[in-house]
A and B are shown apart, each in its own frame.
Chain A
């Protein structure tokens, strides 16, 4: 147990905060759009999943770095 483990833990937490905020904002906007325009539900869901996957990909970059830090130490 040393600083690398601490850094990995803090980094993972920060990454999850960022990813959660991003996907939460995205989902709230998508829900609102679906409520305003129910006939466009399919198109909104598709673009929501694509954007969610991109946000998720970014946060996974951070998480992989955290795993590498934790395994290295």
Chain B
């Protein structure tokens, strides 16, 4: 009975995929899975349409697929961190679950914040921890079946990069004073006639850093999922089942690589944010 049900389900999946692949060009169904949309897919069991909200001032504020999963990650993050924080009220020695998170938190504090920012790193550690765990939870949530990676949305990564930019500027201004901070962006001891060239270059350099942060996270998370779907799509593209072992094997390999990438990208985003903050706070070196 269950065997037949599984076979039926498989047939529905293959039919749906090959139908979509035939209908919408070569890569339409991949884009449908990777990009943001107004439906949360539970193929082959149907899909969930997000309730539409009215358009306010010409802006559509309906929550999309990525927004839904971002809220989900935020709720999980708040629940987990509240649990971890509560466990310290019972005893200062953390138990199993809290101990695991203490290792990661201490890693972010001692290996990322302390060496790159130096003294006054305590002020920026809460922000770095928040952004690290938010990206980490988002990346791992995207690896679960039927979910969607919200960190592969350029809007969300750009917002995170803007947060880092604001933290960098405010941290630098608070430490060095407003005028001294802007003056310190230009290297010391350069000739006056170079200033018209150096000021635009340094200003562009200021904006390139958050831009690169946003593009890096977005492209890394998008690339892995696209490659997995393209490998699976090879089976339908070649219309033979003998490609399937190779395809599934490679897809599994990329999936395991994605677990590594999910960790590394959260680390890299936090590390570079911390580095930029450190460069703004201590301008003299």
The secondary structure that dominates the B interface is helix
Cα distance A43–B8 when bound, in Å?
Answer: 55
- Asked if B268 contacts A61 (CB within 8 A), the reply is no
Known contacts A57-B212, A60-B216, A64-B215; decide if A49 and B271 are in contact (CB<8 Å): yes
Across the interface, do A53 and B219 meet the contact criterion of CB distance under 8 Å?
Answer: no
B267 CB–A CB distance under 8 Å: yes
Residue in B216, B220, B267, B272 with the greatest tally of chain A CB atoms within 10 Å:
B216
Residues 27-63 (chain A) with a chain B CB within 8 angstroms: 46, 49-50, 53-54, 56-57, 60-61, 63
B131 to chain A, nearest CB (A): 15
Is there an interface contact between A57 and B216, defined as CB atoms closer than 8 Å?
yes
A50 contacts which of B219, B223, B275 (Cβ < 8 Å)?
B275
Complex Cα–Cα for A46 and B272 (A): 11
Interface size of B in residues (CB-CB distance below 8 Å): 15
Residues of the A chain whose Cβ atoms lie less than 8 Å from the Cβ of B31 = 71
* Cross-chain contact B216 with A56 (CB below 8 angstroms): yes
Q: Is the interface of A mostly helix, strand, loop or mixed?
A: helix
Q: Which of A46, A54, A60, A63 has the most CB of B within 10 A?
A: A60
B112 (CB) vs chain A CBs: closest residue: A46
A53 cross-chain contacts in B, Cβ below 8 A: 216, 268, 271-272
B271 & A50 in contact (Cβ 8 Å cutoff): yes
With both beta carbons as reference points, the residue of chain A lying nearest to B226 in the complex is identified as A67
User: Bound state CA distance, A64 and B221, in angstroms?
Assistant: 12
Question: Quick check: A60 and B219 within 8 Å, CB to CB?
Answer: yes
Q: Which residue of A lies closest to B214 (CB)?
A: A57
With the chains together, A13 CA to B216 CA distance in Å? 18
Q: Inside 8 A of B220's CB, which chain A residues have their CB?
A: 56, 60
Set of chain B residues within 8 Å of A46, measured between Cβ atoms:
111, 115, 271
**With A60-B220, A63-B223 as given contacts, are A50 and B272 in contact (CB-CB < 8 Å)?**
yes
Residues of A within 8 A of B219 (CB): 60, 63-64
Please, what's the 1-or-0 string for B105-128, where 1 marks a CB less than 8 Å from any CB in chain A? 000000100010000000000000
Query: In the bound complex, how far is the Cα of B73 from the Cα of A50, in angstroms?
Result: 27
Rounded to whole angstroms, the CA-CA distance of A50 and B267 in the bound complex is: 10
Residues of B within 8 A of A61 (CB): 212, 215
A56 to B272, CA, bound (A): 13
**Nearest residue, chain A, Cβ from B31:** A71
Q: Which of B57-115 contact A (CB under 8 A)?
A: 111, 115
Q: Using Cβ atoms and an 8 Å threshold, which residues of chain A touch B215? A: 57, 60-61, 64
Since A49-B268, A53-B271, A53-B272 are in contact, a sample of 11 more A-B pairs with Cβ atoms closer than 8 Å, ordered by chain A residue number, is: A49-B267, A50-B272, A54-B212, A56-B220, A57-B212, A60-B219, A60-B220, A61-B212, A61-B215, A64-B215, A71-B31
Interchain residue pairs with CB less than 8 A apart (11) = A46-B111, A46-B271, A49-B271, A53-B271, A54-B212, A60-B215, A60-B216, A61-B215, A63-B219, A63-B223, A71-B31
